[in-house]
Amino acid sequence: MKIDLLKMVEYGGCSAKIPPKQLEEILKYLPLPQDPNILVDIDTHDDAGVYKINDDLALVLTTDFFPPVCSDPYEFGQIAAANSISDVYAMGGDPVLALNIMMFPASKLPMEVYAEIMKGGFDKASEAGVRIIGGHTIDDITPKYGLAVVGYIHPEKIITNSGAKSGDYLIMTKPIGTGIIMAGQRLGLTSEDDISEAIGLMKQLNKSGAEVMKKYSIKGATDITGFGLAGHALKMAKASSVTITFNMKKVPLIGNTYSLIEDGCIPGASFRNLDFVEEYLYSAPDIDYNLKMIAFDAQTSGGLLMSVHSQMAEAVLKDLHAAGLTSASIIGVVTEFQDKYINLQN
Ligand code: CO
Ligand code: CO
Ligand code: CO
């Protein structure tokens, strides 16, 4: 029997996140633990928490899980694992260990589907050098899968949202559009080529991008996932007290993403992300509406957005291309804070 996981969900992948505005409302009432060994906590909305063990070693901790973003269980497992591990790479860490998190409708789906999802997760984890040493499964109506991941990092080499500096260039390592491509797939508008390109990108680890960041001692970065390019950039701009300007025409796109938007393919998550950013957003009066909305597209297992000293940017880009990240592009600049955190230009 061929199972199509996509038929079981309304929102797949990172589009299924709780809207960022609602989440922020709740998070601000949670007491932050006080401990000098906590180097990064939810205060800066970073990709992962960091806890110092000694002067040479800190742990990077993160978890992500979500409902299916594709039809095939094995590919879903790979994408979910790549996405979970990505937050460790985004902080400059080396992922080491992980635990499985699985929700599965055991009475509705054959257990082979469970096994396929897990196998995808294990294979992707081992590609990253991560050992999965346990996990937890509960029965649930829609399947959901992901990992809790632990990585190592040197306490002085953490890459955070607060590391962007005025004058830096912004480099994006993967093209944007997974949310739009998937929304189009539901409507029968996305081509097979575009679907397989998006799946290939979502499966891709952010490992090689992270290696380049370490080589150049880059200080500010995040991965682009459910809150979209502008949503994650907002967290970076706030934490760094800077303004981030994107030249939306320079943002690399997956396949026919632009024309899908033109055909009205804008997922609900995009409007929730726009709602989150809007009060901090300036967009050029002549901005192309389609390009603007691309900035809010929820990415699943998206690329790294790095803030790079302008004089290093060309060398970083060359290394990223050489590492196989052929779409990596300079898509914007960081300036001193000017009234709004995010500025979208054509
Ligand atoms: Co992240
Ligand atoms: Co995450
Ligand atoms: Co980060």
Distance in Å, CA 221 to ligand 3 centroid: 5
CA dist., res. 104 & res. 139, Å (int): 5
Residues of the chain with CATH 3.30.1330.10: 5-153
- Greater pLDDT, 287 or 10: 287
Instruction: Kindly indicate the confidence band of residue 161, based on its pLDDT and cuts at 50, 70 and 90.
Output: very high
Q: What's the confidence (pLDDT) of residue 281? A: 98
CA dist., res. 6 & res. 75, Å (int): 12
Distance in Å, CA 47 to ligand 3 centroid: 5
What one-character-per-residue DSSP string does 292-342 give?
HHHTTPPPSS--EEEEE-GGGHHHHHHHHHHTT-TT-EEEEEEEE-BSBSE
Instruction: Kindly indicate the confidence band of residue 1, based on its pLDDT and cuts at 50, 70 and 90.
Output: low
Distance in Å, CA 143 to ligand 3 centroid: 28
Whether 70 is catalytic: no
Considering only the C-alpha atoms of the chain, give the largest distance between any 2 of them, rounded to a whole number of Å: 58
159 alpha carbon, closest ligand: 3
Distance in Å, CA 187 to ligand 3 centroid: 34
Catalytic residue among 5, 9, 14, 158: 14
**Whole-model pTM?**
0.95
Neighbours of ion ligand 1 (CB under 5 A): 47, 87, 223
Q: What's the confidence (pLDDT) of residue 3? A: 81
Name the CATH topology of 5-153. 60s Ribosomal Protein L30; Chain: A; (3.30.1330)
CA dist., res. 227 & res. 342, Å (int): 14
Tell me the pLDDT tens digit for each residue of 280-295: 999 999 999 999 999 9
Tell me the pLDDT tens digit for each residue of 190-240: 999 999 999 999 999 999 999 999 999 999 999 999 999 999 999 999 999
Tell me the pLDDT tens digit for each residue of 319-343: 999 999 999 999 999 999 999 999 9
Assigned CATH class of 169-345: alpha beta
Residue whose C-alpha is closest to residue 112's, from 80, 74, 147, 149: 74
Neighbours of ion ligand 3 (CB under 5 A): 46-47, 90-91, 222
223 alpha carbon, closest ligand: 1
Distance in Å, CA 235 to ligand 3 centroid: 10
Distance in Å, CA 301 to ligand 1 centroid: 9
172 to 97, 184, 224, 271, 313: CA distances (angstroms): 27, 23, 9, 22, 11
Beta-carbon count within 10 A of 96 CB: 16
Mean pLDDT score, 36-50 = 88
80 alpha carbon, closest ligand: 2
Neighbours of ion ligand 2 (CB under 5 A): 64, 87
Residues of the chain with CATH 3.90.650.10: 169-345
Distance in Å, CA 7 to ligand 3 centroid: 33
In this structure, what token pair is assigned to residue 128? 């990253």
